[in-house]
Amino acid sequence: MSEAPASTAFTPRVFSGIQPSGGLTLGNYLGALKRFVTMQDEAYQTVYCMVDMHAITVWQDPAKLTAATRELCAGFIASGIDPERSILFNQSQVPEHAQLAWIFNCVARMGWMKRMTQFKDKAGKNAENASLGLFAYPALMAADILVYHATHVPVGEDQKQHLELTRDIATKFNHDYGVDFFPLTEPVIEGAATRVMSLRDGSKKMSKSDPSDMSRINMTDDADTIAAKIRKARTDPDALPSEADGLAERPEARNLVNIYAALADMTVDAVLRDVGGKPFSEFKPMLSELAVSKLSPISAEMARLVAAPDEIDRILSRGAEQARDIARPIVEKTYDIVGMVR
């Protein structure tokens, strides 16, 4: 495929989203939210979204969706996203996402969509019964990003393929219409915990949809629950190695060390210099203490914010207006490029 213009021609702008499809997990925090906060402090305009339209690609109870959207907004703010410095909003309140998504449905090819592994995982064995929205999900995600001409997208490892598709859509649109209109967005997948694994199975991603609550740490878990989950986390019988190579064939040990490193803002090597040779019976209490000290202030602040839904709704309405100010002219220009009369 021909190369479209490099994203450097566009003003640096960060976009990312999280689905309000259940509570936030430690995976979301370390793989996404923590990075969102640091990017807010760097030289980017930052735009962060609760992607409720993505959430309904699988069934969501309406009352729970509303509550989860507000709780997620509280989670963003409690983690350090400042609505005065970042645009923070809910996807369905900005109709331009759906408008651009339709155009992208007509740009993306069936063959590209059929290769998406997240669709295959989520649809499972009964793909015939999956919603059309679940299949089209990555085109909506491309629209989320490109409706802001975002140049950088911080995400966990699992979203890499969707970001490649976003670049393919931008490239094909630019090529088909002979324009340099959409940037080629860069994924930002960095840090020790871009793929936090289940506490019960080191080969599975920690996920809010895992049937076992023991598999994950939720951002709303209290100190005792966090400690119990870490105590019961699956490990192997050996002591911790002194170097990262020693974790290669030990997925559960590697996961706990990665979590420690990400929470402590240390490298894995630095963590292993401190804990190499210790048995898990010593390391796990250290990890619990660190996790509780980092997560308790966040969950306390989330609880405070969730108790004030009006304040949250005000933040979301204001965020949606700010988002629309950027998105509207980009959709209008897209319609002009495509030849739609408006």
Which residues, listed in sequence order, are joined to residue 153 by a DSSP beta bridge? 187
Separation between Cα atoms, residue 95 and residue 148, nearest integer Å: 13
DSSP result, 137-171: HHHHHHHHHHTTT--EEE--GGGHHHHHHHHHHHH
Among 34, 205, 229, 284, the active-site one is 205
284: annotated active-site residue = no
Q: Is 114 designated active site?
A: no
Contact between 208 and 23 (Cβ < 8 Å): yes
The encoded tokens of residue 334 equal 């897209």
Q: Which of 133, 55, 127, 42 is nearest to 90 (CA)?
A: 55
Based on the shown chain and the rule CB under 6 A, indicate whether residue 145 belongs to the binding site for ligand TRP. Answer: yes
Q: Indicate whether 156 belongs to the interface with ligand AMP (CB under 6 A).
A: yes
Query: What percent of the chain is helix, strand and coil (3-state, nearest 5)?
Result: 60, 10, 35
CB distance 327 to 94 below 8 Å = yes
Choose which of 14, 15, 19, 287 interacts with ligand AMP (CB under 6 A): 19
Cα-Cα end-to-end distance for the chain: 31
* Binding piece for ligand TRP, criterion CB under 6 A, among 102-110, 153-161, 233-241, 289-297: 153-161
> Which one from 122, 160, 278, 294 is the annotated catalytic residue?
122
**Smallest distance from the beta carbon of 75 to ligand AMP, in angstroms?**
11
157 vs 222, beta carbon nearer ligand AMP: 157
Q: How far is the CB of 150 from ligand AMP (least distance, A)?
A: 14
Which among 104-112, 128-136, 203-211, 257-265 is the span making contact with ligand AMP, rule CB under 6 A? 203-211
The number of residues in the chain equals 342
Does residue 90 bind ligand AMP (CB under 6 A)?
A: no
Residue 122 a catalytic site member: yes
Q: Which residue shows structure tokens 């109709």?
A: 95
Nearer to ligand AMP, 14 or 103 (CB): 14
Q: In the set 23, 31, 75, 138, which binds ligand AMP (CB under 6 A)?
A: 31
Q: Which residues bind ligand AMP (CB under 6 A)?
A: 18-19, 27-28, 31-32, 155-156, 158-159, 194-196, 205-206, 208
